[in-house]
Amino acid sequence: MTDTSRTRRPRWLTVFGLVTLAVVGVGLYGALIMSPPDVNQGDLIRVMYAHVPVAWIGFAAVAVSAVWGMLYLWRGRAIDDVRAQGTAEAALLYSILTVVGGMTYSKPTLNTYWTWDAKLTLTALMVALVVGYFIVRALIDDPQRRARVSAVIMIVVLASLPFNYLAAEWFRTLHPAKSVNLDGSGVTMDPTMLRVLLLNVLGGAMVFVYFISERIRIGRLSLADDKTFDSVKGVAREVVSVR
């Protein structure tokens, strides 16, 4: 029973994807052309427009994945695990991009790739945590146990973020390395720059939503594939009754 209405991409998603593309395009224009160069860092500041949204979304993705994991633990629906997994994949991708972005940004400004910047350290730890999540996923065959255990791991990962942030922050302050706040906090920002940044955050968030919607849609299809034993269903099986 293949239901084409289930396999086709829903219209709203296509429309949403096109709107996302437009927002990202405008954001790119804002970042590369509209935004003035930074007083201190010149054109390098344009990296921020990509880096900051990616970093924020990475953290949000961990939280969203953990929430979906909790929903799975509560309701036990396979689709919630697909959602949690899809979001975790995004979390991994975005946090790796954040680390790479932070390192490339750090090289020209501080002349070193790694500075133990608190936020970057935190993100690197998050990469390690989410990699652990996927290693465990790969090791468990039973889908239900896999879903339960990985939901639990993501909850622990989420709980670790504030502590790791504190630790990373305090670690740095005791080794007072020269550090630049990549999100520009503490610096009064040019209003144009702030607007462009927020536009890019919006674009990035829309890309994220589009990405996981597609991922969840594909996951839902493979979930339907998995129900091979359903073929056994419908065959009348006797109830063995010992009364």
Please give the residue ranges that form the binding site for another protein (CB under 8 A).
73, 125, 128-129, 131-132, 135-136, 139-145, 148-149, 151-153, 155-157, 159-160, 163-164, 166-168, 170-171, 174, 228-229, 232-233, 237-243
Please, what is the minimum distance in Å from the beta carbon of residue 80 to another protein? 14
DSSP lists the bridge partners of residue 38 as: 42
Contact 102, 123 (CB under 8 A): yes
Please, what is the minimum distance in Å from the beta carbon of residue 155 to another protein? 6
Nearer Cβ to another protein (11/243): 243
DSSP lists the bridge partners of residue 42 as: 38
Please, what is the minimum distance in Å from the beta carbon of residue 94 to another protein? 17
Nearer Cβ to another protein (140/189): 140
How many Å apart are CA 53 and CA 226, to the nearest integer? Answer: 36
Nearer Cβ to another protein (15/156): 156
Contact 61, 42 (CB under 8 A): no
Nearer Cβ to another protein (169/214): 169
Contact 217, 34 (CB under 8 A): no
**CA separation, residue 78 to residues 68, 72, 222 (Å):** 11, 7, 11
Contact 106, 115 (CB under 8 A): yes
Nearer Cβ to another protein (188/241): 241
Please, what is the minimum distance in Å from the beta carbon of residue 177 to another protein? 16
Q: What is the DSSP letter of 37?
A: P
Please, what is the minimum distance in Å from the beta carbon of residue 163 to another protein? 4
Count other Cβ atoms within 10 Å, centred on residue 22: 12
